[in-house]
Structure 1
Amino acid sequence: MFYQLKVAESKDLSKLTAFVEKAGVNSEGFEDLIDYFVIMENGEHEVVACIGIEPMDEHGLLRSLVVSDKLKQAHILTLFQSIQTVAEQKGMKQLFLVTNKEASVQFLTLMGFKEIARASIPEHLLTLEHMRVSLEKTDAKIMAKSS
Protein backbone atom coordinates (compact mmCIF):
# COMPACT_ATOMS: atom_id res chain seq x y z
CA MET A 1 0.00 0.00 0.00
CA PHE A 2 1.06 3.56 -0.74
CA TYR A 3 1.58 5.96 2.20
CA GLN A 4 2.30 9.67 2.16
CA LEU A 5 3.83 11.84 4.90
CA LYS A 6 2.98 15.48 5.33
CA VAL A 7 2.91 18.27 7.87
CA ALA A 8 -0.69 18.63 9.03
CA GLU A 9 -2.73 21.67 8.03
CA SER A 10 -5.93 23.21 9.42
CA LYS A 11 -7.99 21.21 6.90
CA ASP A 12 -6.60 17.99 8.47
CA LEU A 13 -7.69 18.85 12.02
CA SER A 14 -10.97 16.91 12.12
CA LYS A 15 -9.55 13.68 10.66
CA LEU A 16 -6.43 13.92 12.86
CA THR A 17 -8.54 14.47 15.97
CA ALA A 18 -10.87 11.58 15.09
CA PHE A 19 -7.89 9.28 14.45
CA VAL A 20 -6.18 9.91 17.80
CA GLU A 21 -9.41 9.91 19.81
CA LYS A 22 -10.34 6.52 18.32
CA ALA A 23 -7.04 5.27 19.77
CA GLY A 24 -7.93 6.75 23.19
CA VAL A 25 -5.36 9.56 22.96
CA ASN A 26 -6.12 13.09 24.16
CA SER A 27 -6.43 15.61 21.32
CA GLU A 28 -6.62 18.71 23.50
CA GLY A 29 -4.76 21.66 22.03
CA PHE A 30 -4.47 20.25 18.50
CA GLU A 31 -6.01 23.40 16.97
CA ASP A 32 -3.05 25.47 18.18
CA LEU A 33 -0.45 22.83 17.31
CA ILE A 34 -1.69 21.60 13.93
CA ASP A 35 1.44 22.66 12.02
CA TYR A 36 3.56 20.82 14.61
CA PHE A 37 2.08 17.46 13.56
CA VAL A 38 3.26 15.04 10.92
CA ILE A 39 0.62 12.70 9.59
CA MET A 40 0.89 9.64 7.39
CA GLU A 41 -2.01 8.97 5.07
CA ASN A 42 -2.92 5.96 2.96
CA GLY A 43 -3.98 6.15 -0.69
CA GLU A 44 -7.53 7.12 0.34
CA HIS A 45 -6.19 10.11 2.36
CA GLU A 46 -7.08 8.42 5.67
CA VAL A 47 -4.71 9.07 8.58
CA VAL A 48 -2.83 5.89 9.51
CA ALA A 49 -0.17 7.44 11.79
CA CYS A 50 0.70 10.73 13.45
CA ILE A 51 3.11 12.37 15.84
CA GLY A 52 3.23 15.91 17.13
CA ILE A 53 5.38 18.34 19.05
CA GLU A 54 4.30 20.64 21.82
CA PRO A 55 6.80 23.51 21.55
CA MET A 56 8.28 25.40 24.49
CA ASP A 57 11.00 27.86 23.54
CA GLU A 58 13.86 25.90 21.96
CA HIS A 59 12.54 22.62 23.38
CA GLY A 60 9.78 20.36 22.16
CA LEU A 61 7.78 17.59 23.77
CA LEU A 62 6.86 14.76 21.40
CA ARG A 63 3.27 13.75 21.89
CA SER A 64 0.33 11.90 20.43
CA LEU A 65 2.20 9.14 18.63
CA VAL A 66 -0.54 6.96 17.17
CA VAL A 67 0.26 4.27 14.61
CA SER A 68 -2.05 1.92 12.76
CA ASP A 69 -1.25 -1.75 13.31
CA LYS A 70 -0.90 -2.10 9.52
CA LEU A 71 2.36 -0.14 9.48
CA LYS A 72 5.83 -1.61 9.69
CA GLN A 73 8.73 -0.36 11.80
CA ALA A 74 10.23 1.32 8.72
CA HIS A 75 7.13 3.52 8.45
CA ILE A 76 7.48 4.53 12.11
CA LEU A 77 11.14 5.32 11.52
CA THR A 78 10.20 7.61 8.63
CA LEU A 79 7.55 9.28 10.79
CA PHE A 80 10.14 10.01 13.50
CA GLN A 81 12.65 11.33 10.98
CA SER A 82 10.00 13.66 9.58
CA ILE A 83 8.98 15.09 12.97
CA GLN A 84 12.65 15.69 13.79
CA THR A 85 12.97 17.66 10.55
CA VAL A 86 9.92 19.74 11.52
CA ALA A 87 11.51 20.40 14.93
CA GLU A 88 14.74 21.58 13.32
CA GLN A 89 12.85 23.82 10.88
CA LYS A 90 10.97 25.38 13.81
CA GLY A 91 14.27 26.11 15.60
CA MET A 92 14.08 23.49 18.34
CA LYS A 93 17.38 22.42 19.82
CA GLN A 94 16.15 19.50 21.91
CA LEU A 95 13.23 17.07 21.82
CA PHE A 96 11.83 15.27 24.85
CA LEU A 97 9.36 12.43 25.22
CA VAL A 98 7.92 10.25 27.94
CA THR A 99 7.23 6.53 27.50
CA ASN A 100 6.45 3.63 29.79
CA LYS A 101 7.03 0.90 27.21
CA GLU A 102 10.39 -0.86 27.25
CA ALA A 103 10.12 -1.81 23.56
CA SER A 104 9.75 1.90 22.76
CA VAL A 105 12.91 2.71 24.71
CA GLN A 106 14.94 0.31 22.57
CA PHE A 107 13.55 1.74 19.32
CA LEU A 108 14.00 5.34 20.47
CA THR A 109 17.59 4.65 21.50
CA LEU A 110 18.25 3.55 17.92
CA MET A 111 16.70 6.87 16.83
CA GLY A 112 19.29 8.77 18.92
CA PHE A 113 17.22 9.44 22.04
CA LYS A 114 18.84 8.92 25.43
CA GLU A 115 17.11 8.20 28.73
CA ILE A 116 17.52 11.08 31.19
CA ALA A 117 16.71 11.70 34.84
CA ARG A 118 13.63 13.74 35.79
CA ALA A 119 15.94 16.35 37.27
CA SER A 120 17.33 16.95 33.76
CA ILE A 121 13.98 18.07 32.33
CA PRO A 122 13.98 21.84 31.71
CA GLU A 123 11.75 23.45 34.34
CA HIS A 124 9.43 25.13 31.84
CA LEU A 125 8.59 21.79 30.18
CA LEU A 126 7.16 20.60 33.49
CA THR A 127 4.44 23.26 33.12
CA LEU A 128 3.03 21.45 30.06
CA GLU A 129 -0.02 19.42 30.99
CA HIS A 130 0.96 16.60 28.62
CA MET A 131 4.34 16.30 30.40
CA ARG A 132 2.79 16.29 33.88
CA VAL A 133 0.18 13.68 32.99
CA SER A 134 2.75 11.47 31.20
CA LEU A 135 5.10 11.55 34.19
CA GLU A 136 2.33 10.24 36.46
CA LYS A 137 2.31 6.89 34.65
CA THR A 138 3.96 3.91 36.27
CA ASP A 139 7.48 3.27 34.98
CA ALA A 140 7.55 6.55 33.00
CA LYS A 141 10.89 7.06 31.31
CA ILE A 142 12.04 10.43 30.00
CA MET A 143 14.14 10.53 26.87
CA ALA A 144 15.78 13.42 25.04
CA LYS A 145 17.59 14.09 21.80
CA SER A 146 19.53 17.19 20.83
CA SER A 147 19.59 18.37 17.23
Structure 2
Amino acid sequence: MFYQLKIAEEKDLGKLSGFVEKAGVSSEGFESLIDYFVMMENGENEIVACIGVEPNNENGLLRSLVVSDKLKQAHILTLFQSIQTLAEQKGIKNLFLVTNKEASVQFLSLMGFKEIERIAIPNQLLTLEHIRGSLEDENAKIMVKSS
Protein backbone atom coordinates (compact mmCIF):
# COMPACT_ATOMS: atom_id res chain seq x y z
CA MET A 1 0.00 0.00 0.00
CA PHE A 2 1.08 3.55 -0.78
CA TYR A 3 1.54 6.01 2.09
CA GLN A 4 2.32 9.71 1.95
CA LEU A 5 3.69 12.03 4.63
CA LYS A 6 2.59 15.63 4.94
CA ILE A 7 2.69 18.49 7.39
CA ALA A 8 -0.81 19.11 8.69
CA GLU A 9 -2.62 22.26 7.61
CA GLU A 10 -5.62 24.09 9.02
CA LYS A 11 -7.93 22.25 6.60
CA ASP A 12 -6.77 18.94 8.18
CA LEU A 13 -7.77 19.94 11.72
CA GLY A 14 -11.12 18.13 11.87
CA LYS A 15 -9.82 14.97 10.23
CA LEU A 16 -6.70 14.89 12.45
CA SER A 17 -8.64 15.56 15.66
CA GLY A 18 -11.14 12.81 14.80
CA PHE A 19 -8.32 10.34 14.08
CA VAL A 20 -6.55 10.83 17.41
CA GLU A 21 -9.77 11.00 19.45
CA LYS A 22 -10.92 7.69 17.95
CA ALA A 23 -7.70 6.21 19.40
CA GLY A 24 -8.49 7.68 22.82
CA VAL A 25 -5.88 10.46 22.58
CA SER A 26 -6.70 14.09 23.40
CA SER A 27 -6.66 16.62 20.57
CA GLU A 28 -6.59 19.56 22.97
CA GLY A 29 -4.54 22.46 21.63
CA PHE A 30 -4.40 21.17 18.05
CA GLU A 31 -5.76 24.47 16.67
CA SER A 32 -2.63 26.36 17.66
CA LEU A 33 -0.24 23.48 16.87
CA ILE A 34 -1.60 22.24 13.55
CA ASP A 35 1.54 23.08 11.55
CA TYR A 36 3.62 21.17 14.14
CA PHE A 37 2.03 17.84 13.14
CA VAL A 38 3.11 15.28 10.58
CA MET A 39 0.44 13.00 9.17
CA MET A 40 0.76 9.82 7.16
CA GLU A 41 -2.10 9.14 4.75
CA ASN A 42 -2.97 6.14 2.63
CA GLY A 43 -3.94 6.24 -1.05
CA GLU A 44 -7.52 7.22 -0.12
CA ASN A 45 -6.27 10.26 1.84
CA GLU A 46 -7.22 8.62 5.15
CA ILE A 47 -4.90 9.29 8.08
CA VAL A 48 -3.09 6.13 9.20
CA ALA A 49 -0.56 7.77 11.57
CA CYS A 50 0.34 11.11 13.08
CA ILE A 51 2.71 12.72 15.53
CA GLY A 52 3.11 16.28 16.71
CA VAL A 53 5.55 18.40 18.63
CA GLU A 54 4.53 21.06 21.13
CA PRO A 55 7.18 23.82 21.12
CA ASN A 56 8.52 25.39 24.30
CA ASN A 57 11.41 27.74 23.48
CA GLU A 58 14.18 25.54 22.01
CA ASN A 59 12.60 22.42 23.50
CA GLY A 60 9.73 20.44 22.10
CA LEU A 61 7.48 17.73 23.47
CA LEU A 62 6.50 14.94 21.11
CA ARG A 63 2.82 14.20 21.52
CA SER A 64 -0.23 12.56 20.06
CA LEU A 65 1.52 9.65 18.40
CA VAL A 66 -1.22 7.51 16.89
CA VAL A 67 -0.35 4.70 14.50
CA SER A 68 -2.62 2.32 12.62
CA ASP A 69 -1.93 -1.35 13.29
CA LYS A 70 -1.49 -1.81 9.52
CA LEU A 71 1.82 0.06 9.50
CA LYS A 72 5.22 -1.57 9.73
CA GLN A 73 8.09 -0.42 11.93
CA ALA A 74 9.76 1.18 8.90
CA HIS A 75 6.73 3.47 8.44
CA ILE A 76 6.91 4.51 12.10
CA LEU A 77 10.62 5.22 11.72
CA THR A 78 9.89 7.45 8.71
CA LEU A 79 7.21 9.27 10.72
CA PHE A 80 9.70 9.95 13.54
CA GLN A 81 12.37 11.13 11.10
CA SER A 82 9.87 13.53 9.56
CA ILE A 83 8.82 15.07 12.89
CA GLN A 84 12.48 15.46 13.85
CA THR A 85 13.15 17.31 10.60
CA LEU A 86 10.10 19.53 11.10
CA ALA A 87 11.17 20.32 14.69
CA GLU A 88 14.67 21.28 13.52
CA GLN A 89 13.20 23.54 10.82
CA LYS A 90 11.14 25.29 13.52
CA GLY A 91 14.23 25.87 15.71
CA ILE A 92 13.63 23.11 18.24
CA LYS A 93 16.94 21.70 19.49
CA ASN A 94 15.79 19.14 22.09
CA LEU A 95 12.92 16.75 21.55
CA PHE A 96 11.39 15.25 24.68
CA LEU A 97 8.84 12.47 24.94
CA VAL A 98 7.08 10.50 27.64
CA THR A 99 6.25 6.81 27.25
CA ASN A 100 5.05 4.08 29.55
CA LYS A 101 5.88 1.21 27.21
CA GLU A 102 9.19 -0.60 27.65
CA ALA A 103 9.12 -1.78 24.02
CA SER A 104 8.92 1.86 22.93
CA VAL A 105 12.03 2.71 24.98
CA GLN A 106 14.06 0.13 23.07
CA PHE A 107 12.79 1.32 19.67
CA LEU A 108 13.35 5.00 20.53
CA SER A 109 16.85 4.28 21.85
CA LEU A 110 17.76 2.91 18.42
CA MET A 111 16.64 6.26 16.97
CA GLY A 112 18.94 8.23 19.26
CA PHE A 113 16.62 9.05 22.17
CA LYS A 114 18.12 8.70 25.64
CA GLU A 115 16.23 8.05 28.84
CA ILE A 116 16.60 10.79 31.47
CA GLU A 117 15.53 11.21 35.09
CA ARG A 118 12.47 13.32 35.86
CA ILE A 119 14.71 15.82 37.66
CA ALA A 120 16.45 16.53 34.33
CA ILE A 121 13.28 17.82 32.64
CA PRO A 122 13.64 21.58 32.03
CA ASN A 123 11.30 23.52 34.33
CA GLN A 124 9.82 25.45 31.41
CA LEU A 125 8.74 22.17 29.80
CA LEU A 126 6.85 21.29 32.97
CA THR A 127 4.53 24.22 32.25
CA LEU A 128 2.98 22.20 29.40
CA GLU A 129 -0.21 20.50 30.50
CA HIS A 130 0.44 17.51 28.24
CA ILE A 131 3.71 16.56 29.99
CA ARG A 132 2.28 17.09 33.47
CA GLY A 133 -0.60 14.73 32.70
CA SER A 134 1.73 12.12 31.20
CA LEU A 135 4.01 12.20 34.23
CA GLU A 136 1.14 11.22 36.54
CA ASP A 137 1.81 7.62 35.45
CA GLU A 138 4.50 6.30 37.81
CA ASN A 139 5.78 3.99 35.03
CA ALA A 140 6.31 6.92 32.67
CA LYS A 141 9.78 7.21 31.19
CA ILE A 142 11.18 10.48 29.85
CA MET A 143 13.46 10.48 26.84
CA VAL A 144 15.24 13.22 24.94
CA LYS A 145 17.08 13.61 21.65
CA SER A 146 19.18 16.68 20.94
CA SER A 147 20.01 17.91 17.47
For residues 32-72 of structure 1, what are the alpha-carbon distances to aligned partners after superposition, in whole Å with 9 as ceiling and x for unaligned? 00000000000000000000000000000000000000000
- Match of 1:17? 17
Paired AA for residue 96 in structure 1:
F
Give 3-state SS (helix, strand or coil) of 2:26's partner: coil
- Match of 1:90? 90
Q: Across the two proteins, how many residue pairs are aligned to each other? A: 147
The offset of 1:137, in angstroms, is 1.1
- Normalising by structure 2, we get a TM-score of 0.99
User: How large is the Cα RMSD of the aligned pairs?
Assistant: 0.4
Q: Distance in 1 between matches of 2:13 and 2:46?
A: 12
Provide structure 1 residue ranges, at least 5 long, that are not aligned to the other structure. none
Q: Does 1:112 align with 2:102?
A: no
The offset of 1:122, in angstroms, is 0.5
State how 1:1-147 maps to structure 2 within 5 Å. Answer: 1-147=1-147
Q: Distance in 2 between matches of 1:79 and 1:137?
A: 25
- Normalising by structure 1, we get a TM-score of 0.99
Q: Distance in 2 between matches of 1:127 and 1:138?
A: 19
Q: Distance in 2 between matches of 1:125 and 1:42?
A: 34
Q: Distance in 1 between matches of 2:37 and 2:50?
A: 7
The offset of 1:127, in angstroms, is 0.7
Q: Distance in 2 between matches of 1:139 and 1:28?
A: 23
Provide structure 2 residue ranges, at least 5 long, that are not aligned to the other structure. none
